[in-house]
């Protein structure tokens, strides 16, 4: 790889960091921020098509991830209300910051003469079965959904024949004397149809759905967290190699502390512990949406590892070059900017590439907070179709289709730079003429 290609690669990495910073600056320059609204039900599932109102004015409907961003949001006292058919409306009224995230949990409301059908498997675990088709008196009424595998119907009192079907499970046909307001549990057992571990149709569907929805969020998490982590890591790397004891001490505490804690613990602290601490100090509710929590946790964690990478790259540059730069009248900042960092970037490019690959895989931890990234999407498909192997296999292939090419690129960069450094050293050695007898 020539110098032009390496400079282009470095420019792309820096551009990602500058882009995220500029988006934040632009929001402040417009004098407005963003209010992030997330809507879930009692079982923490996302609720799409929920209507959001700000001070009585309609703002839009949530997407399939139960999310809506209100742009140009100004700080102050506001009332945010969320409504959805079949659920009780909910409101939050308080003093908001210009940029804030809030979450609603809506409780389902049963209409009059409603009956709830809950479908579970007949094993000891009594797991909820999602996507089971429910027929009442041979008429299709819908499929079970939600965290408890339920379906709410409006039926007249009296005897009704209820049939529940789902692939890979035995059909259940029951006659029930329906009483309005009641909940009826129907159990289903496995083995109704021949079980295929690898379902070709489900595999194709899983690939399409995981790429369309899950992969988008995975790439968003990885790219944004990588850009922010790159900025953090660069500052921490310079601090770790700094002669300033205070700067070096702060950087060392950050790097060693973050690297010594599990990523899962950091994620839970950002999403639950940090908002609790801020709420207690400020005396008012403070929330962070799950997606933002994942970005912060991944950025902070990745920044600590990148700090060590940059430290190693800076220390790999000969100290003689720093001394030569200072002898030419350059300040420490100038020598770092024009002499040390450009060479350090070339040295650490393969390691930075490996960190990005690791970050793509680490982004799967977002499923802990129900963020619909690639792994979470595979899990949801597996629950819906009662086949966990095929969607997870599809997710693994998608991960490999990303990480293997990136790994080859990193190997190519590492090989090219090793060859280039070897040739440079050989040329420098040839230019040094040995002493002959006439000079002795």
C-beta of residue 104 within 8 angstroms of C-beta of residue 38 = yes
Q: Is the pLDDT of residue 379 over 60?
A: yes
Average confidence score pLDDT of the chain: 82
Under the banding of pLDDT at 50, 70 and 90, the label for residue 146 is low
For residue 241, how many other CB atoms are within 10 A of its CB? 21
Q: Give the C-alpha separation, 332 to 330, whole Å.
A: 7
* Confidence class for position 380, pLDDT limits 50, 70, 90: confident
Note the pLDDT of residue 82. Answer: 93
- Residue 31 has a CB neighbour count (10 Å cut-off) of 9
Looking at residue 16, what is its pLDDT? 52
Local confidence band at 1 (pLDDT 50, 70, 90 cut-offs):
very low
Q: What is the per-residue pLDDT for 249?
A: 93
Domain enclosing residue 128, as ranges: 114-188
Question: Which region among 14-28, 65-79, 102-116, 254-268 has the lowest average model confidence (pLDDT)?
Answer: 14-28
249 and 144 share one domain: no
- Residue 8 domain-assigned (yes or no): yes
Please state at what angle helix 341-362 crosses helix 290-316, rounded to 10 degrees. 150
Taking residues 261-266, report their average pLDDT: 94
Select the more confidently predicted residue: 286 or 377: 377
Compute the distance between CA of residue 102 and CA of residue 50 in angstroms, rounded to an integer. 14
Same domain membership, residue 176 and residue 203: no
Asked if residue 50 is part of any domain, the answer here is yes
Stretch 99-117: mean pLDDT: 80
Domain identity same for 54 and 171: no
pLDDT at residue 421, rounded to an integer: 57
Q: What's the rounded Cα separation, in Å, for the pair 38 and 54?
A: 14
Which of 188, 213, 229 is the endpoint of a domain? 188
User: Quick one: pLDDT at residue 30?
Assistant: 43
Is 6 or 389 the better-scoring residue by pLDDT? Answer: 389
| Residues 215 and 85 occupy one common structural domain | no
Lowest mean pLDDT among 95-99, 147-151, 338-342: 147-151
Q: What is the pLDDT of residue 24?
A: 45
Q: Alpha-carbon distance 284 to 339, whole Å?
A: 49
In the prediction, which pLDDT does 27 show?
42
Does 20 reside within a domain? no
What is the tally of structural domains in the chain? 3
The tens digit of pLDDT for each residue in 168-224 reads 788 889 898 988 888 899 998 876 555 567 778 889 989 998 998 889 889 999 999
Give the span between the Cα atoms of 306 and 254, in whole angstroms. 12
Identify the domain boundary among 63, 86, 106. Answer: 106
pLDDT of residue 44: 64
Q: Using DSSP, state whether 106 is helix, strand or coil.
A: strand
407-432 pLDDT per residue, tens: 998 888 878 766 555 555 555 555 55
Name the percent of the chain lying above pLDDT 90.
30
Distance between CA atoms of residues 23 and 37, nearest Å? 19
Domain match, 227 and 120 both: no
> Same domain, yes or no, for 406 and 358?
yes
What pLDDT score does 332 carry? 76
Residue 432, in any domain of the structure:
no
> Closest Cα partner for 294 from 356, 371, 231?
371
pTM: 0.65
C-alpha span between 365 and 373 (Å, rounded): 9
Q: Is residue 440 part of a domain?
A: no
- Assess whether 353 and 214 both reside in one domain: yes
Tokens found for residue 324: 């030569």
What whole-number distance in Å separates Cα of residue 107 and Cα of residue 86?
Answer: 9
Query: What's the rounded mean pLDDT across residues 356-367?
Result: 93
Same domain, residue pair 166 and 310: no
In a domain, 183, yes or no: yes
What percent of the chain has a predicted confidence (pLDDT) above 70? 84
Could you tell me the CA-to-CA distances from 135 to 21, 114, 183 in Å, in that order? Answer: 54, 15, 16
Does any domain span residue 434?
A: no
**Does 268 score more than 50 pLDDT?**
yes
Judge if 69 and 167 occupy the same domain.
Answer: no
Could you give the CA distance from residue 24 to residue 168 in angstroms, rounded to a whole number? 50
Question: What CATH code is carried by the domain that includes residue 36?
Answer: 2.60.40.10
Is residue 169 helix, strand or coil? strand
Q: Where are the alpha helices (DSSP H) in 328-388?
A: 332-335, 341-362, 374-385
Question: Both 296 and 337 in a single domain?
Answer: yes
- pLDDT for residue 316: 87
The predicted model gives 298-309 an average pLDDT of 94
Cβ neighbours of 28 (radius 10 Å):
11
133 and 50 in a common domain: no
Contacts 24+ apart (CB under 8 A), 166-173: 166/119, 166/129, 166/131, 166/132, 166/133, 166/192, 166/386, 167/192, 167/193, 167/385, 167/386, 168/192, 168/193, 168/195, 168/386, 168/387, 169/121, 169/129, 169/132, 169/193, 169/386
pLDDT on residue 418:
65
Instruction: Give the lowest-confidence range in 1-10, 62-71, 365-374.
Output: 1-10
β pairing state of 33-41 and 90-96 = unpaired
- Do 346 and 390 lie in a common domain? yes
Adjacency order of strands within the sheet including 172-178? 139-143, 133-136, 158-165, 172-178
The pLDDT value recorded for residue 4 is 54
pLDDT at residue 192, as a whole number: 52
The answer to whether residue 54 is domain-embedded is: yes
Is the pLDDT assigned to residue 125 strictly greater than 90?
A: no
Question: The CATH number of the domain where 129 resides is what?
Answer: 2.60.40.1120
CATH of residue 398's domain is 1.10.3720.10
Last residue of a domain, one of 73, 106, 139: 106
């Amino acid at each position: 790889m020539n110098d032009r290609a390496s400079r282009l690669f470095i420019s792309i990495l820096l551009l990602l960091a500058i882009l995220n910073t500029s988006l934040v600056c632009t929001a402040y320059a417009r004098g407005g921020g963003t209010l992030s609204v997330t809507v879930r039900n009692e079982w923490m599932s996302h609720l799409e098509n929920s209507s959001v109102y700000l001070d009585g004015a309609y703002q839009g409907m949530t997407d399939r991830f139960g999310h809506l961003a209100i742009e140009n949001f100004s700080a102050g006292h506001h009332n945010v209300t969320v409504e959805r058919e079949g659920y009780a409306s909910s409101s939050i009224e308080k003093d908001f910051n210009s940029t804030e995230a809030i979450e609603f949990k809506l409780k389902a409301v049963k209409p009059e003469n409603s009956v709830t059908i809950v479908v579970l498997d007949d094993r000891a675990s009594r797991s909820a079965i999602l996507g089971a088709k429910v027929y009442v008196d041979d008429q299709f009424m819908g499929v079970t959904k939600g965290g408890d595998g339920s379906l709410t119907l409006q039926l007249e009192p009296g005897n009704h024949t209820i049939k529940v079907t789902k692939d890979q499970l035995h059909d259940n046909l029951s006659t029930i004397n329906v009483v309005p307001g009641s909940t009826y549990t129907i159990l289903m057992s496995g083995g109704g149809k021949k079980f295929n571990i690898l379902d070709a149709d489900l595999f194709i569907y899983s690939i399409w759905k995981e790429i369309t929805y899950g992969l988008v969020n995975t790439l968003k998490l990885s790219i944004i967290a990588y850009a922010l982590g790159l900025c953090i890591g660069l500052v921490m790397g310079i601090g770790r190699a700094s002669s300033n004891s205070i700067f070096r001490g702060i950087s060392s505490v950050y790097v060693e502390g973050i690297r010594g804690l599990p990523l899962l613990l950091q994620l839970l602290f950002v999403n639950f512990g940090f908002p609790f601490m801020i709420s207690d100090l400020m005396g008012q509710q403070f929330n962070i949406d799950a997606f933002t929590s994942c970005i912060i946790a991944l950025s902070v964690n990745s920044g600590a590892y990148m700090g060590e990478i940059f430290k190693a790259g800076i220390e790999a540059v000969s100290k003689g070059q720093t001394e030569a730069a200072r002898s030419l009248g350059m300040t420490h900042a100038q020598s770092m900017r024009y002499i040390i960092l450009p060479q350090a970037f070339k040295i650490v490019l393969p390691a930075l590439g490996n960190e990005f690959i690791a970050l793509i895989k680490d982004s799967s931890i977002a499923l802990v907070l129900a963020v619909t990234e690639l792994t979470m999407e595979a899990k949801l498909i597996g629950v819906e179709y009662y086949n966990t192997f095929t969607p997870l296999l599809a997710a693994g292939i998608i991960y490999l289709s990303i990480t293997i090419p990136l790994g080859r690129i990193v190997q190519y960069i590492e090989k090219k730079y090793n060859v280039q450094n070897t040739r440079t050293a050989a040329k420098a050695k040839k230019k040094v003429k040995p002493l002959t007898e006439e000079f002795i």
